[in-house]
Structures are given as structure tokens and as C-alpha cells.
């Protein structure tokens, strides 16, 4: 069983994906971490994430063990990720790994949950379940501010809002694998939902689908 969760930044994909994987006994892949790691690798080598040659090289030789997990969830990493993610060669280099994970999940799991921007449209167009997780820009920006403050980072709310708006525009406007719901995706707006509410709504959809 393959579950594809796509959507914009801070819509609640990661939390929902982890909860679904736990609940259904599936493996979980945060595909954003691959783009974040690629962006961080370019920055650490002193390069520019928008430089196609440097970014492609980083994606092709990506070694997750060399990147500290705490360096992945920073705003700088998210920004670098969305720049390298617009480069077709980077997406091509990361595609195989994601497809292999989906079709042969680790630890003998019977399926996988993948979250990202193009799982239902490009990586796994044949996924059994596709959910497009979204929320208003204001709500997503509030959640990201809280996530960063909880980690002890000093943040300026208007800056997080503007950065998120810029990242949305870049993710939706790029020529390759732009962020958009697959035609057969269920759109789940989590604006008024907490993590439990989002999990309940996703499970209700999955159950209704399996009865059809
Ligand atoms: O957690 P957040 O939603 O902020 O970001 P993320 O899921 O870690 O993704 C970071 C960036 O990687 C996004 O802004 C996208 O540009 C890119 N990405 C992508 O292009 N395709 C994916 N499947 C996952 C992430």
C-alpha cells in the first residue's frame, strides 16, 4: 500500500504522515529531507543552491550520514531546498531512491507513506491513496513560527510569512513537478484541525476509499 501526501510548507504533512505510518504499520519517507540535505550540502561546500551544476552534483553524491539532522529543519535549509528542487537534474537524481522506497519499503513493511510536493503526481502516480494536505498561508505561517520558537530560534513573524509566501510561489510556479493536487487526490484542509483531527479525517477518507 502506498500513501502519497503532498502539500505546501507547514500544512501538517509530516505530522500526519508519521501518524498514519504508525497507525497502519507502514514505512515513512519525508522526501523534503532529501531536498533539504541536497541544499545544505551545496551551502556547506560554499556553493549557491540555485547553481544547477553544483546542486546536481550534490544530489548525485548525497550522503545523508554527512548531514546533521538539526541542520535540516532550519529556514535556511528550507529555502535552499526549494531552490535546488526547481532544478530538473536534482529531481531526476532523487527520483529512483523515492520510488524504490515506495515499492520496496524497508524493514519488511507492507507499504509506505511518502510526503512531499509531487508524490501523487510524479513519484507515485499509481499510489493507492493520495491526499493533498493544505491550510491557509496565515495558519501555516503561525505553525512554522511556533516550530522555530519551540526549537529556541529567534524569529520575526512577518519574515516567516514572507518567506513562506515566496516558497509557495517558487514551488507552485516551477516548470518541473510543480506543487499541485493530483486529479485524483482528496484535498484535506487542516486550518481548523489539530493533529488528531487531521489523522481522523485522513483515516475516514482511507476507509471510505477501501469500501468503494
Ligand atoms: O517542511 P516543509 O513543508 O517546510 O518543507 P519540506 O517538505 O521539508 O520541503 C522543503 C522544500 O523541498 C520544498 O519547499 C520544496 O521546494 C522541496 N520539495 C520538493 O520539491 N519535492 C518534494 N517531494 C519534497 C520537497
Whether 67 maps to a domain, the answer reads yes
**Whole-number pLDDT of residue 198:** 97
Whether this model's pTM surpasses 0.85:
yes
Quote the ligand 1 centre to 9 CA distance (angstroms). Answer: 7
Compute the residue count for the chain: 212
Whether 171 maps to a domain, the answer reads yes
Between CA 35 and CA 33 the distance in angstroms is 5
Q: What is the mean pLDDT of the chain?
A: 95
Secondary structure of residue 66 in the 3-state scheme: helix
Quote the ligand 1 centre to 211 CA distance (angstroms). Answer: 32
Whether 212 maps to a domain, the answer reads no
Q: Is the CB of 179 under 6 A from ligand 1?
A: no
C-alpha cell read off for 5:
501526501
Whether 211 maps to a domain, the answer reads no
pLDDT of 115-144, one tens digit each? 999 999 999 999 999 999 999 999 999 999
Q: Quickly tell me which residue has 532523487 as its cell.
A: 94
Read off φ and ψ for residue 151, nearest 5 degrees: -85, 0
**Per the structure, how many domains does the chain have?**
1
CATH of the domain at 183: 3.40.50.300
Per the structure, the complete domain to which residue 141 belongs is given by 2-204
Amino acid at each position: 500500500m502506498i500513501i502519497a501526501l503532498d502539500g505546501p510548507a507547514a500544512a501538517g504533512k509530516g505530522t500526519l504522515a508519521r501518524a498514519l505510518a504508525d497507525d497502519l504499520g507502514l514505512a515513512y519517507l519525508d522526501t523534503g529531507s532529501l531536498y533539504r540535505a541536497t541544499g545544505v550540502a551545496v551551502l556547506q561546500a560554499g556553493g549557491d543552491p540555485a547553481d544547477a551544476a553544483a546542486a546536481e552534483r550534490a544530489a548525485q553524491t548525497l550522503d545523508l550520514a554527512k548531514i546533521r539532522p538539526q541542520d535540516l529543519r532550519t529556514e535556511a535549509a528550507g529555502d535552499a531546498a526549494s531552490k535546488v528542487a526547481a532544478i530538473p537534474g536534482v529531481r531526476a537524481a532523487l527520483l529512483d531512491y523515492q520510488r524504490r522506497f515506495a515499492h520496496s519499503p524497508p524493514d519488511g513493511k507492507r507499504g509506505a507513506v511518502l510526503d512531499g510536493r509531487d508524490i501523487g503526481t510524479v513519484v507515485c502516480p499509481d499510489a493507492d491513496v493520495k491526499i493533498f494536505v493544505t491550510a491557509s498561508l496565515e495558519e501555516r505561517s503561525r505553525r512554522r513560527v511556533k516550530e522555530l520558537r519551540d526549537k529556541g530560534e529567534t524569529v520575526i513573524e512577518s519574515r516567516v510569512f514572507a518567506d513562506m509566501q515566496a516558497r509557495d510561489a517558487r514551488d507552485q510556479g516551477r516548470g518541473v513537478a510543480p506543487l499541485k493536487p493530483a486529479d485524483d487526490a482528496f484535498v484535506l484542509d487542516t486550518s481548523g484541525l489539530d493533529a488528531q483531527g487531521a489523522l481522523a479525517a485522513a483515516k475516514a477518507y482511507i476507509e471510505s476509499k477501501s469500501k468503494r
